[in-house]
Structure 1
Amino acid sequence: MAPFSGDGALWLCLGISLFFAVRGIVTDLRQVVDLTEIKHNDREDKIISEGTEDVLKLDTLLKLSESTSHDLRAAALRIISERSTKGETRDLLLADLDCKDKVRQARALSALHFLVSNRALSRTSVCTHLRDVPTYTALINCLCNFVEEHTEQTSTTNSPILPKTRPLGEKKALHILNILLPENVPAALESGIISQWLIRYPFPCALTEPSRRQDVVILMKTWWSDDAVMSSIFGTLTQHPDGIKQLRKHGLMGSMIEENDQDDDEDNDDDEDSDVWMVDGEDTAGSSFRESSRRFQEGSAEEQALRRRRREAMVLSEGGRPLGRDDIIQRPIQDESS
């Protein structure tokens, strides 16, 4: 009898062939995995070497910024942003921001807003190139130009701090300033953020009769939700000593004594009155401001003097019985006309 029959030899050859076929398929699959694997051995900043950054044309960078590769796209955007904040390109950007041509101004605002707020650029040093006096000067001049455009009503919100006439482009400029201001408050003060811009800004509380311009800072803290961006800008300024000095100097913030007196007066008013400040009382529906913590009122000189005398009174009690008028020692009231 033959050691292998015809069927046995066939099965043996088929098994050997299947074994080598499986090994070949496994090897090919491993090669496919190696070829398609995304490796992160090199840092993102090294994808495009520093030597080639300067020779890449803008059209090439634009195509790279539209790449499906996240790393290539981020590297291209980084190069574009750094070029935009250096040299002549930066000077042109600030010049367009400062000009009164609305088309050029709008383009400059959009470009600057992208540079300072885009997440893809958050790890770059863009803001470090935009925290000097020329940058703040151009941005503040842009905001001053917007002040002149507060002519048409764009909002129906009744607020002591938010104008109804805010131009649409001003919102983007305020957002840019809010991002850049913490980088260098002294430079912004030198550029006139308070002396040139805020002193001219049409806060509704400053346009009322009597004017409450010196209460702007307090109102920003109380009504911050009406204008969160502007309130944040004031918050940054009041955290800097020179910012507080300029706010007081230009009448946007009262003195410390006046603020303490006003706080005491407001606390007394809270105990006696409601927490609603009515404006344009004829149309009470939609014209009232509801305040959660304090109520601002203007009192007569006699009422203010009386409240001060009350604060200066001394209360003495032996205990064990209710307080009465006899326990209160108060300065004698002097005739102010004498």
Structure 2
Amino acid sequence: MEWLSSLMTTDKAIKGALIIHGVALVGTVLLALDQWRSECETKPPQPKPQYITQDTEDALKLTTLDTLLGHYNHAIRETAVKIVCDRAVNDKDTLEQLLWGITRPNYDERLKNLRALAVITDPRESMINHGGTIDRLIIPQDSLDKLHTWKAYAALVRCLELSLDPDQEVLNNDDWDEYPLRDMTDKLCLMFISQLVGTFDCEKLIKAKFVEKWLSKQNWGTTEEERHQNLAAYLRSKTNRLAEIISCIRQSPAGRVALQKCGLFPYPDTEESEADDDDTHLVERLSVLFPETLDVNSLDVNHPTRVLLRSFQTTPGSEEQRDRNQRHREAMVLNDGSHPITSDDIIQRDPTSPP
């Protein structure tokens, strides 16, 4: 019976080996079939990113842009709006047409053209059509370059002139700011002007008679003294766009002359004015001795810096005065450039020594 027991043991081993080989074969076949299926599967090609070039934008027709402006996709609509605004702001005829439109007597026509001008110069901001604040508008540099022209300044000033309020209250209240209550045409024009003078300068604005045609016609008061005080108080207490424009005009010599002629800025005292001119001239000649931040216009007449500057100047007078001036001019400045010059760096001649 031993042979039968040995045969049964051998049969079990054979069966186990057959089962293991069968499982391995099935697994190998399934793996081979899976790989074959993966290789035979046809995958759709991945879309490549497409960029809109300038040539592509120029090739779009107006009818195509009109269709894209009504597209359901927000990104497509935004891109179409940007293309339309870029074409408009770079088209000279379109820009001049809008500038001509803001000078029309009809209020609705002026406002419509002003809104269009604001949209094409900054298409990113849609608040103009949704009742948002104008102060958030920031015009890009390339759009400001298109508006830095004589026609643009003259048109903006004319638009402000047409929007003058004959019943305006006196601008003498320091507790509240009237700027948010101004008409939309005023705020839009002042928005353009503020960014233009802040980026460039106010010379073209002054030549367009902004002070004479609009600023002086604001209700600053009845008497000349009252107008001076109210304007100074307005600049001191307000931080709106109008205050920024007036501050820029006051920093310009031509602007100060225009303000003085219109009774908004007092004429300086003759002696102080001559001293200011002399000091300014000397500062230009001796700029290497003084710090770059020196502003002679902000210094008092009796400030040590101005007294020192006047001491360099030859003035007519008595012999004693000439000797004093001579001694003042005989000085040495010891400064190695590591710090701004001060009075401690100036060694003057002993006044008691003979000339």
Deviation at 1:13, TM superposition (A): 0.7
Counting matched residue pairs gives 239
SS at match of 1:126: helix
Work out whether residues 85 and 120 of structure 2, in 8 Å CA contact, stay in contact via their aligned partners in 1.
no
Q: Which residue number in structure 2 is paired with residue 196 of structure 1? A: 213
Match of 1:135 among 152, 157, 161: 152
**1:305-329 superposed Cα distances (whole Å, 9 cap, x missing partner):** xxxxxxxxxxxxxxxxxxxxxxxxx
Q: Which residue number in structure 2 is paired with residue 96 of structure 1? A: 101
Distance 1:91 1:13, change over 3 A: same
Aligned partner letter, 1:181: V
Match of 1:212 among 202, 226, 232: 226
Q: Which residue number in structure 1 is paired with residue 117 of structure 2? A: 112
Distance 1:76 1:140, change over 3 A: same
Aligned partner letter, 1:243: G
Distance 1:253 1:20, change over 3 A: farther
Q: Which residue number in structure 2 is paired with residue 281 of structure 1? A: none
Q: In percent, how many aligned pairs have the same letter?
A: 17
Work out whether residues 220 and 234 of structure 1, in 8 Å CA contact, stay in contact via their aligned partners in 2.
no
Provide the rounded CA distance (Å) in 1 between the counterparts of 2:177 and 2:224. Answer: 15
Provide the rounded CA distance (Å) in 2 between the counterparts of 1:106 and 1:212. Answer: 33
Match of 2:65 among 54, 61, 64: 61
Work out whether residues 81 and 123 of structure 2, in 8 Å CA contact, stay in contact via their aligned partners in 1.
no
Asked if residue 126 in structure 1 is aligned to residue 139 in structure 2, the reply is no
Asked if residue 180 in structure 1 is aligned to residue 196 in structure 2, the reply is yes
TM-score, reference length from structure 1: 0.57
Q: Which residue number in structure 1 is paired with residue 27 of structure 2? A: 11
Q: Which residue number in structure 1 is paired with residue 252 of structure 2? A: 240
Work out whether residues 68 and 76 of structure 2, in 8 Å CA contact, stay in contact via their aligned partners in 1.
no
Q: Which residue number in structure 2 is paired with residue 144 of structure 1? A: 161
**Which ranges of structure 1 fall in alignment gaps of 5 or more residues?**
261-338
**Which ranges of structure 2 fall in alignment gaps of 5 or more residues?**
1-13, 126-137, 273-355
Work out whether residues 214 and 251 of structure 1, in 8 Å CA contact, stay in contact via their aligned partners in 2.
yes
Task: Answer with 1 or 2: which has the greater Rg.
Answer: 2
SS at match of 2:214: helix
Work out whether residues 82 and 126 of structure 1, in 8 Å CA contact, stay in contact via their aligned partners in 2.
no
Deviation at 1:48, TM superposition (A): 3.5
Q: Which residue number in structure 1 is paired with residue 235 of structure 2? A: 221
Distance 1:160 1:191, change over 3 A: farther
- Alpha-carbon RMSD across the aligned residues, in angstroms, is 4.0
Aligned partner letter, 1:127: L
Provide the rounded CA distance (Å) in 1 between the counterparts of 2:29 and 2:97. Answer: 78
Work out whether residues 195 and 250 of structure 1, in 8 Å CA contact, stay in contact via their aligned partners in 2.
yes
Deviation at 1:175, TM superposition (A): 1.6
Deviation at 1:77, TM superposition (A): 1.6
Deviation at 1:130, TM superposition (A): 0.9
Provide the rounded CA distance (Å) in 2 between the counterparts of 1:24 and 1:247. Answer: 85
SS at match of 1:247: helix
Distance 1:247 1:64, change over 3 A: farther
Work out whether residues 97 and 104 of structure 1, in 8 Å CA contact, stay in contact via their aligned partners in 2.
yes
